[in-house]
Every structure is written in C-alpha cells, then in structure tokens.
C-alpha cells in the first residue's frame, strides 16, 4: 500500500515532455504539467495572430531553436514570484552555457526609423516572418512577468545573432 501511494504521488508530479517542432498558428496554452522543448536548428514562430499563453511555473527548453513572436501575434507569459516561467537550455544541468539556444524574439508593429517603415530583425530569421515595424503604435506583442531566460543568445549565422530577449 505504501509503495502504491508513493507511485501515485510521484505520477501526480511527473511532467510530460512536449517537443515543439513546428510553428504555432492558433491560440495555444502551455501548462506547468509539461516541459516544452523547442526543437530544430533555427526558429519556432508564433504566427497568424495567434496568442501563446505560458502559465506560471512552466518550463520551456531550447534545443537550440529560438521562439519568435511575429507581428500581430502575442506571447502572454505571466509567472508569479513563487512560480516563475523559465526559458532555458535543453542541455542537462551542469552542462548549460550561454548561447545554448536562441532565446525569445518579439516583433511589434509600432513605427520604426527603417526605410519603408519596417525592418528585418537580425539573427537569421525568415525574411518575411522576421519583419517588425509598421504604423500601429498601440500594438502589443504580449507581456512577460516573472520570466527567467537562461543560457540564450546564439549566432545562427556569423555576426548575425539573437540575444536572450530580442525586441523589434
């Protein structure tokens, strides 16, 4: 009976690994009962005006992909002081280092001082999906509260990199 209770307790706290290897094109919620791994060599895009909501206490690992929130889409990642949201390297603890994964890239629609009113963010992103700027100064790409970004910032191309948090 004791072993059964221990197994039930353990399974109640077990987290499922969810590999994210394609773009997010519709409203999606990530929950703390899963560990999300951004797979791929480059980028996972939030597109199509989708909202990605990340709940408090959720763990997201880059392997080594970056998360790119395109114009019109949003990232709502509002952790709590006692339940932060952590974006980190997919490497094992003790083997993680700066530059293990791409980080978070937020692309807005406010006015910018680039020719034609829009720019392409650096880092090797898709030249269409990586655009930022426009005419909507009231636009929002979402919100980040009690979010920790670790071991991020990678040069996907020489002298053309993302940072832990890249904003355009």
pLDDT digits (tens, 9 = 90+) for 58-92: 999 999 999 999 999 999 999 999 999 999 999 99
Residue 123 has a CB neighbour count (10 Å cut-off) of 24
Distance CA 144, CA 154 (A): 21
Q: How far apart are CA 24 and CA 106, in angstroms?
A: 14
pLDDT band at 114 (very low <50, low <70, confident <90, very high): very high
Q: What is the pLDDT of residue 13?
A: 61
Mean pLDDT of 127-149: 97
Of all residues in the chain, the percent with pLDDT exceeding 90 is 83
Does 7 score more than 80 pLDDT?
no
- pTM more than 0.75: yes
Alpha-carbon distance of 110 to 107, in angstroms, equals 9
Q: What is the mean pLDDT of the chain?
A: 91
Rounded CA-CA distance 122/7 in Å is 48
């Amino acid at each position: 009976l004791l072993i059964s209770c221990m197994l039930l307790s353990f399974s109640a706290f077990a987290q499922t690994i969810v590999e994210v290897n394609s773009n997010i094109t519709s409203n999606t919620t990530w929950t703390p009962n899963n560990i999300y791994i951004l797979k791929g060599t480059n980028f996972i895009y939030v597109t199509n005006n989708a909202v990605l909501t990340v709940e408090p206490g959720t763990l997201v690992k880059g392997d080594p992909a970056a998360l790119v929130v395109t114009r019109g889409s949003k990232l709502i990642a509002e952790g709590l002081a006692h339940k932060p949201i952590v974006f980190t390297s997919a490497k094992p603890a003790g083997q993680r280092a700066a530059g293990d994964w791409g980080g978070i890239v937020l692309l807005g629609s406010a006015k910018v001082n680039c020719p034609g009113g829009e720019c392409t963010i650096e880092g090797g992103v898709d030249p269409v999906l990586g655009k930022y700027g426009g005419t909507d100064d009231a636009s929002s790409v979402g919100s980040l509260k009690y979010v920790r970004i670790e071991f991020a910032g990678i040069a996907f191309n020489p002298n053309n990199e993302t940072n832990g948090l890249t904003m355009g």
